[in-house]
């Protein structure tokens, strides 16, 4: 999983309910088929990565369908921040298989946003100020800056959004480890500390003869 700590030339973006004057600077397809959406506020960066939907062995069909809906809703949410509704409604994942639908959906998304395949620069995002909701997410005991899993988390003049805080999920500070109360009569000493702690944007299909992404 991507971790912003791997970015060395600019510091990771610090979580906040609303960070103004950010920019979407690039979208790039990775070797594994995932896509990285790179944001910056000039002094720090955040890289949001979306992976092709794959059903895990521990997922039920219902859980898998929910995860796909959340995945495509996040991408649609970012896209609508920069394009007109008419442009957005052209995007549809075509194909017989899930992989074909995913590849075509992302291809049409990149075309709508005017992404340069060589550089990743996003024509529709050029000069556009963005507000972001940034939270901490945890992976294997380490915390990193990320966009929330559920929109809204991006706002532009084209598609303005208000952000709200859900205390159960939104973490803006890294939770501290609080030791349990030590019972002086317990011969073993202190106890172990506990950690506190849309493939369905389906409007009219787009037609395009560009090469595949």
In a domain, 91, yes or no: yes
In a domain, 87, yes or no: yes
Q: What is the pLDDT of residues 105-114, one digit of tens each?
A: 999 999 999 9
Distance between CA atoms of 23 and 132, rounded to whole angstroms? 9
In a domain, 188, yes or no: yes
Owning domain of residue 161: 4-195
In a domain, 200, yes or no: no
**Section 64-71 average pLDDT:** 93
In a domain, 207, yes or no: no
In a domain, 136, yes or no: yes
The pLDDT confidence band at residue 21, using thresholds 50, 70 and 90, is: very high
In a domain, 209, yes or no: no
For the chain, what is the domain count?
A: 1
In a domain, 172, yes or no: yes
């Amino acid at each position: 999983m991507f971790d912003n700590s791997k970015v060395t030339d600019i510091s990771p973006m610090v979580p906040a309910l609303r960070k103004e004057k950010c920019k979407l600077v690039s979208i790039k397809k990775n070797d594994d088929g995932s896509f990285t959406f790179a944001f910056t506020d000039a002094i720090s960066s955040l890289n949001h990565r979306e992976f092709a939907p794959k059903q895990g062995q521990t997922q039920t069909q219902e859980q898998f369908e929910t995860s796909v809906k959340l995945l495509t809703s996040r991408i649609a949410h970012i896209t609508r921040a920069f394009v007109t509704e008419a442009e957005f409604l052209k995007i549809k994942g075509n194909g017989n298989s899930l992989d074909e639908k995913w590849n075509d959906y992302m291809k049409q998304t990149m075309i709508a946003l005017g992404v340069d395949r060589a550089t990743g620069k996003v024509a529709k995002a050029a000069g556009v100020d963005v507000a972001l909701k940034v939270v901490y997410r945890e992976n294997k005991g380490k915390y990193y800056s990320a966009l929330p899993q559920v929109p809204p988390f991006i706002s532009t003049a084209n598609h303005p959004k208000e952000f709200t805080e859900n205390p159960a999920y939104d973490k803006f500070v890294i939770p501290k480890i609080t030791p349990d109360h030590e019972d002086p009569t317990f011969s073993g000493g202190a106890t172990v500390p506990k950690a506190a702690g849309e493939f369905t944007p389906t409007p009219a299909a787009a037609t395009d003869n560009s090469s595949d992404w």
